[in-house]
Structures are given as structure tokens and as C-alpha cells.
Structure 1
Amino acid sequence: MASANDRAVLQAIFNPTSPFGDVPGINQEEELFDDDSGFDAELLKRVKELEMRGVSAAEAGDLQGALQLFSQAVHILPERASAYNNRAQALRLQGDTTGALQDLDRAIVLSGGGGRTGCQALVQRGLLRRLGCQTDEARADFEKAASLGSEFARQQAVLLNPYAALCNKMLSEVINKLRNPNMSEAQ
């Protein structure tokens, strides 16, 4: 079994664009979960069923049906973040970026910017902001999601950080020179 240091060295060799020593899975937050304990158990059960049906409808290409199911879930438990997050996905797939951002904002507020849903909503909002050329806002969302344990968000935050990109480029060049010492002489 490889030590943490061995994994860090291998990560730097096989993925030179990531910061040295940064091994996916190491130092990640524990598995995130949403605290649904404050909701009525029967209502929560109904809402979760609606959300599962909504996800199935969206996967089957029935975005209108999915939106209706997610909206029903929001209506039943308007203080629960998950249905807003799911509805945002369906809205985004329909091309309604403004509606998706509104639902993601609401999901982030309701989740307190934490838990599984908060993390997912931050990543989704970061992606939409990045597409909208709101780089600073996108980076902030990715950094927050990364602090919650999202490896994808961490990678996106690094990509949007000009200093990290420069350091990663220099590190990549050093590693390439170490791998191919004759290449630097030929240039």
C-alpha cells in the first residue's frame, strides 16, 4: 500500500496540472449529507418521492413533467433546499439560466451554503456563472464548494486562479524537464 507521500508524488507525475501533493480523496470532507430532521416525516417522504420521480422524468427527457414534480415538492416543503436544486437543473436544461440561478440562490440560502445540496448548488451556480463570464463570482462558488469537499469544484477553482495556473504551468515544465532531460538540451 502506498503512503500519502507516494500518492502525492504519483499524482504530480501523472497529473502535472494539479498542485503538487494534492491527491484526490486525501483531506476531503466527510461524506456530505443534508439535515432533514426539522421536517415532518410524512411530508419529507412525499417530497423525496416527488423528487425521485422528477429526476426519472428528466432522465427520460420529460423536462416539463420534471419541472412540475419539482415545483410540487417546493410547494409542499418550501424551506427544503433539495427540490430547488433539482428544479434548477431542469430549468438549465430547458435553457432558462435566469430561473436556474434563482433556484440555485434559494437552495444555497436554505442549505446555509453547506451539506450535500448546498455543495451541489454552489458547483452548479459556479458553472453557470463561468458560462456567463462572471469569473470572480464563479471562482468564489467553486472555492466554497471545494471547502466542502468537492474535488471537481477544487479543480475549477484552480483553473480560474491565475496565480495557481501560472504555478501549475511552471511545475509542469519542471516535471517535464525531469522526465525528459534531453528535451531541454535539444531546444
Structure 2
Amino acid sequence: MSSEHDAAVLNVIFNPFLPLDDNSDKGILHMKDNDEDDKTLLPIKALERDGIEAAETGNFNAALKIFSKVIEAAPTRASGYNNRAQVYRLKGETEDAVMDLNKAIELSGGHGRSACQALCQRGLIFWKGGLTDEAKKDFEAAADLGSQFAKAQLVKLNPYAALCNQMLQTVFNNLYS
């Protein structure tokens, strides 16, 4: 079994362009939104879970209706916009998705889980749309909030880092083969 130090050394080797203080078991999974402990939001959170279930089963129109109800009930809560944006993105309605992501980032003040997820989603949309500089800014902001996904995307956006990672992985694969 490897120690925490061994894991950190391997992380630096395989991800040389990630920050040295990165700790993959912390970050977005432990991040809270400002309203996470608010018990009055339990019905809204239950409605959000219904919307997520509808989206996971491919019923995007039902999911959009549910998330619109969530937003109507809690218009200053970022997660409703973030979740509805995900459905818009899955449907290929990127303009609507970006509008909701912008609103989620604005409402969250750029902090918390919803902001981090919104920044990652918007970064992906920008990247797919060829807006690399905008994507990089969003991934950097999400990485600063602790997103391992965003950090990985930043490495992919850096061709030298991607080549270096590929070469190191080949060396280690050959070493252990």
C-alpha cells in the first residue's frame, strides 16, 4: 500500500502541470453551497432530485419543466439554473444553457459547488464551440474551486502538458509491463 506522500509524488509525475498542493480527495465533493444546510429548501431539493431523475431517464422535456418550477420557487438559488443548463446542454440547446450557466455563476458569486459545476459546464460548451480562451478561464476558475475535472481539462488544453503526460504514462506502462 502506498503512502499519501507516494500518491502525491505520482500525481506530480503524471500531472506535472497541476498545482503541487493538489489533493484529489478534497475539493468539489466537499464543497458546499451557501444554502446547503437550509431546511426550508427540502421541498425544492426534492423537486430537483425529481428533475435529475427525469433527465437521467432521458425525459428532457419533463426535466426542463421541473427545473423551471425549481427556479420559479427559488429564483435566487444557483443550483436550479445549473441543473436546467445541464438539460439544455444535453438537448443541444447551448444558447439557453449558457444563459442559465451565466445566471448560476452570478447568483453563486463564483463560489460553492453550483459555481464550480456551472464553470465546468460552460467551459465545455466554450471548448466545443472553439472558444479556447474562454474555456480556459472557466476551467481555471473551477480548478481554483477544487474541481479535478477542470484541472484535467486545463492539461488537455495545453498541448505540451498533454504530450508530456502521454510520454510519462508510456514510460510507466512499459516499466510495469
Describe the superposition over 1:15-57 as per-residue Cα deviations: whole angstroms up to 9, x where unpaired. 3xx2178586358447101111797x44x22211211110111
Distance in 1 of aligned mates of 2:155 and 2:114: 22
- List runs of 5+ in structure 2 lacking aligned partners: none
Match of 2:23 in 1: 25
Are the equivalent residues in 1 in contact too, given 2:123–2:138 (CA < 8 A)?
Answer: yes
Match of 2:77 in 1: 80
Q: Does 1:67 align with 2:64?
A: yes
Describe the superposition over 1:140-174 as per-residue Cα deviations: whole angstroms up to 9, x where unpaired. 1001100111011011112213xxx4256357657
Describe the superposition over 1:102-138 as per-residue Cα deviations: whole angstroms up to 9, x where unpaired. 0000000101111011000000000000000000000
Aligned-residue CA RMSD (Å)? 3.1
Amino acid at match of 1:71: S
Using the TM superposition, name which of 65-74 and 165-174 deviates more: 165-174
Match of 1:6 in 2: 6
Question: SS of the counterpart of 1:78?
Answer: coil
Structure 1 residue ranges, 4+ long, deviating more than 6 angstroms after superposition: 174-180
Amino acid at match of 2:160: L
Q: Percent identity?
A: 45
Are the equivalent residues in 1 in contact too, given 2:55–2:87 (CA < 8 A)?
Answer: yes
Q: Does 1:157 align with 2:154?
A: yes
Match of 2:51 in 1: 54
Give the alignment of 1:1-187 within 5 angstroms.
2-11=2-11, 15=14, 18-19=15-16, 25-26=23-24, 28-29=26-27, 31-36=30-35, 41-42=39-40, 44-161=41-158, 165-166=159-160, 169-170=163-164, 173=167
TM-score, normalising length: structure 2: 0.82
TM-score, normalising length: structure 1: 0.78
Deviation at 1:67, TM superposition (A): 0.3
Are the equivalent residues in 1 in contact too, given 2:136–2:157 (CA < 8 A)?
Answer: yes
- Residue correspondences, number: 173
Distance in 2 of aligned mates of 1:50 and 1:58: 12
Are the equivalent residues in 2 in contact too, given 1:28–1:149 (CA < 8 A)?
Answer: yes
Query: Using a 3 Å threshold, how does the CA distance of structure 1 residues 45 and 139 change in structure 2: closer, same or farther?
Result: same
Question: SS of the counterpart of 1:136?
Answer: helix
Amino acid at match of 1:25: N
Query: Using a 3 Å threshold, how does the CA distance of structure 1 residues 19 and 62 change in structure 2: closer, same or farther?
Result: same
- List runs of 5+ in structure 1 lacking aligned partners: 181-187
Distance in 2 of aligned mates of 1:110 and 1:145: 15
**Structure with larger Rg:** 1
